[in-house]
Amino acid sequence: MRAKALAVFPGGFGTLDELFETLTLMQTGRMKKVPILLFGKEFWDNVINLAYLSVQGTIFLSISIL
């Protein structure tokens, strides 16, 4: 992938599948890590408990969305 970042907008199962596949590829080292921008805070707060994952150190959240 040549992208410098990944933008993800609210969607259905296909969107979630693509997002988690990308995360898996980055986590396993098969893809270069790039920033992921999740648009639609209310949607993503309901899908993924981002605050909890951040506190646990699983993910890094930019201060601009908190």
pLDDT in tens, 4-57: 999 999 999 999 999 999 999 999 999 999 999 999 988 988 888 877 878 888
**Closest C-alpha to 47, from 2, 27, 5, 17:** 17
Residue 55 in domain: yes
Total tally of structural domains belonging to the chain:
1
Residue 60 in domain: yes
Strand partners, 21: none
Q: Which two tokens stand for residue 30?
A: 């098969």
Given a contact cutoff of 8 angstroms between Cβ atoms, the answer to whether 26 and 59 are in contact is no
Q: What is the pTM of this model?
A: 0.73
Residue 1 in domain: no
In this predicted structure, the answer to whether residue 61 has a pLDDT above a threshold of 80 is no
Residue 45 in domain: yes
Range of the structural domain that residue 15 is part of:
6-65
Given a contact cutoff of 8 angstroms between Cβ atoms, the answer to whether 24 and 35 are in contact is no
Residue 11 in domain: yes
Q: How far apart are CA 50 and CA 8, in angstroms?
A: 15
